[in-house]
Amino acid sequence: MPQKLKDFSSVSPSAKSLLKLKGNTNIPYAKQAAGLIDGGEIFNLNYDDKDFWFWMRAMHFESRYRSVDQLLKQTGNTNILELSSGYSFRGLDLCERDESIRYIDTDLPDVVFTKQGMIDALPVGEGVKGRFELLQLDVMDAAAFNDIVNMFGNGPLTIINEGLLMYLNQEEKVRLCSTILKTLKQRGGCWITADVYIKRPPEMADRVPYTSSERSFFEQHSIEDNKFESFESARSFFKSQGFEIVTEAEPDYQSLSVIPHLMKVLPEELRNRKEPPPKMQVTWMLKPR
């Protein structure tokens, strides 16, 4: 008997908050798409008073986005499947510039519906050269996942995601890993995930001024509990699921568009700090062992 799918639709509104934040970066289409959002967003962030923590958030998400791009370039694969993409337009940008790309962008129905309207309103220049498609997919539905994979032509497949695993509990992570592992063993290719987050020490979590809406959302979706205990435990988890780590993205903070803004509001004690900030997230390229 097929396993009943969990309703993940309550996660979807957070994608608008993330897009509004990314609208302050030079991530492709983010600024234009953020301007198309109607109404407020669930985290109630202050977009007028762009303080230190605002730009720290923006830096993190711009860096995470670029880390996926960095590893994606290394694969050379032209078949790309993005899982739970939210309001990211990486696929559209790639297909606008490269006719060899076959990109399937997926998310839940309400996000796909809204995103398609955004795409229709975006300035896509002379048109998309590659083959881009936006489709509905619950990543826990293995049969639907396989149906989409079968839409690709011959050649290895790159599966990418950012902002997904922290919404999955241990059992759901195992199920998703099983589906991806089976796919990559059959087709070849790799999995690039930017969702290797480790739990914050309590003293660090208390320093970040989350809004009450953010805290409520994180608690509702067990975000902190769903993170890995450590990078070593994350490594062990993926190994136990049949994967090996091929490479890790190297952050290039100086190239980020938000850095000049962040530097203007950087507290004096941090300007003179010599040690790097603690690493809480990495992006890995994984392949079947």
Task: List domains and CATH numbers for the chain.
Answer: 16-268+279-288 (3.40.50.150)
163: region left, alpha or beta (phi > 0 left; psi from -120 to 50 alpha): left
Model pLDDT, residue 246 = 98
Quote the CA–CA distance of 108 and 84 in Å, as a whole number: 7
pLDDT (0 to 100) of residue 37: 82
Backbone φ and ψ of 30, nearest 5°: -65, -45
Q: DSSP characters for 155-166?
A: S-EEEEESS-GG
By mean pLDDT, which of 15-19, 35-39, 43-47, 285-289 is the weakest?
43-47
Judge whether residue 116 has pLDDT over 60. yes
Can you count the helices (H) and strands (E) in the chain?
Answer: 13, 7
Q: For the whole prediction, is pTM greater than 0.95?
A: no
Contact yes or no for 89/65 (Cβ under 8 A): no
Report which of residues 16 and 109 the model is more confident about: 109
pLDDT of 253 above 70: yes
CA 250/CA 255 separation, integer angstroms = 12
CA-to-CA separations, 161 to 80, 139, 176, in angstroms, rounded: 11, 11, 12
What is the CA 231 to chain-centroid distance, rounded? 18
Average pLDDT, the chain: 90
In this structure, the strands spanning 243-248 and 131-136 are unpaired
Range 23-27 contact pairs with CB under 8 angstroms and sequence separation of 24 or more: 24/50, 24/58, 24/258, 24/261, 25/58, 25/61, 25/62, 25/65, 25/256, 25/257, 25/258, 26/257, 27/62, 27/65, 27/88
- pLDDT tens digits for range 27-37: 999 999 999 88
As to burial, measured by CB atoms within 10 angstroms (0-12 exposed, 13-18 middle, 19+ buried), residue 32 is: middle
| Burial class (CB within 10 angstroms; exposed 0-12, middle 13-18, buried 19+) of 99 | exposed
Q: Tell me which of 125 and 34 has the higher pLDDT.
A: 34
